[in-house]
Chain A
Amino acid sequence: MTAAIEVEKLRCEFRVHTGLMSAEKRVVAVDDVTFSVPAGSVLGVVGESGCGKSTLARMILGLLKPTAGTVLVDGKRLFDLDRKARARLIQPVFQDPFASLNPRRSIKDIVALPLEAQGTFSRGEIGRRVGGILERVGLSAAMGERMPAQLSGGQRQRAAIARALVLEPRIVICDEPTSALDVSVQAQILNLLADLRRDLGLTYLFISHNLAVVEHVASEVAVMYLGRIVERNETDALFREPRHPYTQVLLESVLTPEPGKGVPDIGLGDAMPDPANIPPGCRFNPRCRIAVERCRHEAPTRMVRPPQGMVECHLA
């Protein structure tokens, strides 16, 4: 069975100028990332803002050329496919549904656009498909006539999902699809994505900064820190036994509705990780609460956690 997404030793570097006189700096946004997502399953990718999640997504979508490494989608190199074929295979759903929908077109027209761009569908076929997918994501025909500004955040995200699915792609990359939404609307969208995956046999790469959000949809979870995957495991195993200190912190930061527990001291300090300034040794060591001397000069190697998990930590 070929994997839906296969990523090997993927790396992405940006060159940035920090000032007029200063030298060019290298920002390593994604560093040596390897994984594969079997068809019909969901890989959740979790990590803080700036850790490289969206950069990874853009490389998989073929929107950004990797500095090194390979991406195979359904066994093919995306750069070998033309835009139309790529659009039929893989589609994105982004965080901010407002920014990603053309404010001057109706929802119906926005959802029809990918079909029109193919140039092979008749008007009748387009109308039929758009009607079908809008209904499938829970938007009425009347909603289809509205402009994006006339919809709520959750309805706009449903429209964005409809647009992503109208070509019946096999693979969908969801980049923080619920981060701009209320908890109640988030639950609706997560349920919708889970239903669609089951009914249409889709494969997702599902990105979030909140570990609790991916548990419901993901079959496997990868935790990213400063461009690297520091832990990966089958979802139940990862939640049952998080190995990496960073995974543990992410799990503790989830505020569950348990009164009396207070807000945990996750002890990360105020310094945000900076991919232009990756610390020597283990890249997590300045924020790690169990770091030992060795962590400051020696990077941990990748350890396999059977059956398919892995973790990068000297003490895990």
Chain B
Amino acid sequence: MSALLEVEELQVTFGGRTAAVRGASFRVEKGETHCLVGESGCGKSVTALAVMSLLARGGHRSAKRMSFAGTDLTSLSDREMARLRGNRMAMIFQEPMTSLNPAFTIGSQMAEVLTRHKGGSRAAALDRAAELMGRVGITAPGMRLGQFPHQLSGGLRQRVMIAMALMCDPELLIADEPTTALDVTVQAQILRLLATLKREFGLSILLITHDLGIVARVADHVSVMYAGEVVERATTAELFRAPQHPYTRGLLSCVPVPGRVQRDRPLGSIPGVVPAIGSGFTGCAFRSRCAHADETCAHAIPRRQAGNAHDYLCRLEPDWAELQPA
């Protein structure tokens, strides 16, 4: 397998002061689902936007390496990047209303994506839109094409966004919390759909979420992000079998599992929130919330190997986690 997307030591700052992403590295292999997981504010969306060259004004990105299908993304002009975006790499967001235009019908918005990148007639584009809507499980696509975004439920809108992202047959789909605003029932349906599309279209997916329950069910590889860094990387099986970083373990304990709740005991949780990190910061950013922090955590932290393709950023030795189950 060769990596479709390679990101090495990505840095993103806003106004030169807030370090939103601090040296994040990960690879999305062809045909796999890679999950970026972490709490709100840890830099997941900024990472995705940096890859897509969609950072808000004031955002500055630099990377040792950032390549997509062999193309160096850092050297592309805005025009070249715009040609990739929505075409060979597509993105869907948490709240579909932010990326759908309320003034245009679903059909015309979907058709526009195809004609912009690939040319061809509007009629042909509408046919493809209807076909893809069928593929993502929308019944009566013909009727939906003529409707406006506000006439659809949240779950339908997210399906439309997925169909729209597929219009140009992308190789990479970046999905930023695509189900966080939805009912759990609709969430299960949308995630199942993404898994099917991955299989049938050979799509590679970079899925962003804050929920390790979702990660377990859909990911092949996982990168756990904390305060702008990737603090643990592993295959999904390995991450859940032997999570090493105290943060990963904390996140895992927060997911409520039906039937395993002890009502007289508190749920596992991580105290506090992700801190904002200034530019001169050193040491482990998790130390303000970590039960295992000591004075060495304020200094440079090694990246440790915990097995094949499994590494993490912490002063603790790999066997620590085995010896002290959380």
Contacts and interface: CB of A to CB of B under 8 A. Distances in A.
Interface of A: 48-50, 152-155, 182-188, 190-191, 194-195, 209-213, 215-216, 235, 239-240, 249-266, 268-272
Interface in B191-226: 191-192, 195, 210-218
A272 B257 contact: no
A188 B269 contact: yes
Interface centre among A48, A195, A253, A255 (most CB of B within 10 A): A255
Contacts of A153: 40
B191 A255 contact: yes
B185 interface: yes
B252 interface: yes
Contact of B195 (A188, A235, A257, A262): A262
Contacts of A211: 184, 258
B283 interface: no
B191 A191 contact: no
B266 A263 contact: no
Contacts, number: 153
A191 B254 CA distance: 11
Given A210-B184, A256-B255, 7 more contacts: A48-B183, A48-B186, A152-B273, A186-B254, A190-B256, A264-B188, A266-B188
Given A152-B40, A239-B259, A257-B240, A263 B254 contact: no
A132 B255 CA distance: 30
Contact of A194 (B195, B216, B266): B266
Nearest to A240: B259
A9 to B, nearest CB: 27
Contacts of A210: 184
B218 A272 contact: no
Contacts of A255: 184, 187-188, 191, 211, 213-214, 216-217
Contact of A184 (B217, B250, B263): B250
B189 A184 contact: no
B132 interface: no
A259 B267 contact: no
A305 B284 CA distance: 54
Contact of B257 (A154, A188, A256): A256
Given A183-B211, A184-B39, A259-B237, A216 B258 contact: no
A209 B154 CA distance: 14
Contact of B216 (A152, A213, A256, A272): A256
A56 B131 CA distance: 40
B269 A250 contact: no
A113 to B, nearest CB: 25
A154 B254 CA distance: 14
A162 B271 CA distance: 18
B185 A268 contact: yes
Contacts of B183: 48-49, 209
Contacts of B255: 183, 256-257
Given A263-B191, A263-B218, A254 B258 contact: yes
A265 B191 CA distance: 10
B210 A182 contact: yes
B261 interface: yes
B267 A182 contact: no
B269 A191 contact: yes
B257 to A, nearest CB: 5
Nearest to B241: A259
A190 B267 contact: yes
29 contacts: A152-B40, A155-B273, A183-B212, A183-B213, A184-B250, A185-B273, A187-B270, A188-B271, A191-B267, A209-B183, A212-B256, A213-B256, A215-B258, A215-B259, A239-B258, A250-B184, A254-B213, A255-B216, A256-B213, A256-B258, A257-B213, A258-B216, A259-B237, A261-B216, A262-B195, A262-B218, A263-B217, A266-B189, A269-B139
Nearest to A189: B269
Contacts of A50: 153
Contacts of B39: 182, 184-185
Nearest to A198: B264
Contacts of A258: 216-217, 240
Contacts of B216: 255-259, 261
Nearest to B159: A270
B146 interface: no
B20 interface: no
Interface string B265-279: 011111101000000
Interface string B234-253: 00110110000000001111
Nearest to B218: A263
B207 to A, nearest CB: 12
Contacts of B213: 183, 254-257
Contacts of A252: 188
5 closest Cβ contacts across the A-B interface? A187-B269, A187-B254, A255-B213, A263-B192, A212-B256
